[in-house]
Amino acid sequence: MLLDAVDATAGGLAHLTLAVAYDGRADIVAAVRAAVARSDGAEVLVEDISGCLAGGPVKDIDLVIRTSGETRLSGFFPWQSAGAELHLARVMWPAFGEADFLRALRS
């Protein structure tokens, strides 16, 4: 199902980021350590850290959709989603469908 979605949207302009078993704080710590190690003593810039995050330099996230009715982010890409809009959906992820997605875009 996920591969079908990837194929159907190939060449599109938008990006969908899913996080499974992801720890945002650990990702930031690892990225800072990697950026410092690569810096050879030079100043470490925001871009250096961004490039060391899991998944590489993911663009800033515009919209976070939290399913299941939970009101917490659970460490979901804290660096990349700092300025994102947050949509809380009561439906569970497996049942999240097109109507739910369109509702999130409109909110």
Residue 17: pLDDT band with limits 50, 70, 90: confident
pTM assigned to the model = 0.73
- Residue 99: inside a domain, yes or no? yes
- Residue 76: inside a domain, yes or no? yes
Look at residue 19 and tell me whether its pLDDT is greater than 80. Answer: no
Q: What is the pLDDT of residue 18?
A: 75
Give the model confidence (pLDDT) of 36-51 as tens digits: 999 999 999 999 999 9
Burial 21-57 (b: 16+ CB within 10 A, else e): eeebeebbeebeebbeeeeeeeebeeebbbebbbeee
Q: What is the pLDDT of residue 88?
A: 95
Q: Which domain holds residue 66?
A: 16-106
For residue 77, what is the domain's CATH number? 3.40.1180.10
**For residues 33 and 80, which has the higher predicted lDDT (pLDDT)?**
33
Q: What is the pLDDT of residue 1?
A: 66
Structural domains counted in the chain: 1
